[in-house]
Amino acid sequence: MHPSEDEILAEVVALFDEPPLRFGIMLQLAHGHELDDDEQAEWDEYCTRADEAERRRTILGIVDLGEVVENGSPEVEMLSSRLVAAEYQSWYGPKESTKTFVILVDAWFQMLDGECVVWVDKEMGKRNLSERFVVVGRMTGHSREEVAEVLRANLSYREYPLMDCSKESVNLWGLSLKLRDPVLVVVDAQTEVLADAGLNENLATDVERWLAAYVTPARRMGVAVVMLDHVGNDPQKRSRGSGHKGAAAKVELEFESLVKPKKDRIGQTRITVRKNTVDAPLLNGQDSQVYDIGGDGKGGFVFQETVPTAPKPNSKEAELEKAIVDVLRKAGKPLTQNQIVGMVTGKASVIKAKLKELATLQLSEVDVEDGPRGSLLYSLSTVSGSLSPQGLVPSPPGEGTQSSESPLSPDDGTLSKPIADSDRSESQ
């Protein structure tokens, strides 16, 4: 009698399904307890059969694309403005560029939402990492005891684990992911985990071997994985070592510390998107974002987007510009360059350079036109303010029409704060 189609299908499915394992053994393994002889034999049999099932799945890699098309591609989900759900992403930068602190913030908010986070720590150690969580907890108003409660419930912390790509290590890793069902895995850092397995970060095949053993199982489960990495001595705008590191990641963020934060000082970090294969709305759609991060000097912790402010004008340049405008206003008619130089106090070459600069700026009050015998004539336009390289310097109150809108920063085009009265009087 020939087997039915359902029986054949069941046998085929069984080839790819992982074998069952008693829950009691799972718990003992998860807590690091020693197995007796019978339990060890059952675990060894499970590992062998699980390896065979994984090998068969990997060889064929069967996916029903028709079902994917029919159901439609899901929209990109963000865990934070920096963190994409269910994707492998690389965060890199030089030492002390706040990579760990930023991912720690993102992980903290996931745990506050009741999600599990797996943290593979090959650098910080339990003491340093726990204190950082306490610091971040202050930002959300949580006491040390409350932070401990959140970590105990929702963090699966691995201190200096041996991730050597061995059969036992890979199977325990896969089993632990199934038990905890995390939303995020953090690996700190790539050099150290590769070294565990005797792998070379400069070889693409070595990098891929480790990723296939530990990252791929997490991705199949829809878990976001963030790999923290370093840069080389030369600024290459990428992580050091093999280019396959970047090729494997779907998202790459580069970290640069502008002002190093301290316990009692807020620093600044710039995060730049270097790769975004999934077209995620990273950094709220910006290519780069600067963050304030660090201690506020009152026992608290700050992490927020930096609010851009208008640069303070150079006082000497502002005084010279005002003097030129005053001379032209009092004259009430166009003046030649030599006439202005004779009427303004200062070095002639500096005044001439300033006149040339003002005449070429679109928002300047100063206009220039051809005069007799090849000379240039300078006069006042109807624009109420002048734009120096440092920013827009408004005209004094009552003179001209001052716009009610904030000026634009010449560097980044973002809206910045108007110059305060105290700054205006100082510049004049």
Q: Tens digits of per-residue pLDDT, 183-242? A: 999 999 888 999 988 998 888 899 999 999 999 999 989 999 999 998 866 555 566 566
Euclidean distance between CA atoms 67 and 50, whole angstroms: 26
Which token pair is 234?
Answer: 């030369």
Percent of residues, the chain, with pLDDT higher than 90: 40
User: For position 247, what pLDDT does the model report?
Assistant: 82
Q: Among 165-169, 320-324, 355-359, 416-420, where is mean pLDDT lowest?
A: 416-420
Whole-number Å distance between alpha carbons of 154 and 351: 66
Give the model's pLDDT for residue 280: 95
pLDDT band at 416 (very low <50, low <70, confident <90, very high): very low
Q: Considering the entire predicted model, what is its pTM? A: 0.62
Q: Is the pLDDT of residue 108 over 80?
A: yes
What sign does the dihedral 248-251-254-255 (CA atoms) show? negative
Q: Supply angle C-alpha 174, 179, 182, rounded to 5.
A: 85
Strand segments, DSSP code E, in 312-384 are: 335-336, 366-370, 376-380
Q: Please state, for a pLDDT cut of 70, what percent of the chain lies above it.
A: 74
Domains 88-305 and 315-427 equal at CATH topology level = no
- Region 153-164 average pLDDT: 95
- 22 pLDDT band, cuts 50/70/90, is confident
Distance CA 279, CA 76 (A): 8
**pLDDT at residue 111 in the model:** 97
Q: What is the pLDDT of residue 149?
A: 97
Neighbouring CB atoms inside 10 A of 210's CB total 20
H helices of 236-291, in order, are 244-248
pLDDT of res. 388: 36
pLDDT at 126 over 90: yes
CATH of domain 88-305: 3.40.50.300
Residue 425 has pLDDT above 50, yes or no: no
> Among 122, 97, 119, which Cα is nearest to 110's?
119
- The pLDDT value given to residue 236: 55
Determine the average pLDDT of the residues in 275-284: 94
Describe the strand order of the beta sheet including 376-380 as a list of residue ranges: 335-336, 376-380, 366-370
Highest-confidence segment of 26-35, 250-259, 368-377, 412-421: 250-259
Nearest-angstrom CA–CA distance, 154 and 119: 11
* Averaged pLDDT for residues 80-90: 96
Give one DSSP letter per residue of 377-411, joined into a string. EEEE-S-SEEEETTEEEEPPTTSS---SSPPBPTT
Checking 275-278 for CB contacts under 8 A at 24+ apart, the result is 275/246, 275/249, 275/250, 275/251, 276/251, 277/250, 277/251, 278/76, 278/84, 278/87, 278/250, 278/251
User: Would the pLDDT of 17 be above 70?
Assistant: no
**What does pLDDT average to over the chain?**
80
- For residues 111 and 421, the model is more confident at 111
Is residue 427's pLDDT more than 70? Answer: no
Q: How confident is the model at residue 6 (pLDDT cuts 50, 70, 90)?
A: low
pLDDT at position 419 over 80: no
- CATH C-level class of 315-427: mainly alpha
pLDDT of 393 over the 50 cut: no
- Tell me the sheet residues that pair with 378: 335, 368
Question: Which of helix, strand or coil describes residue 146?
Answer: helix
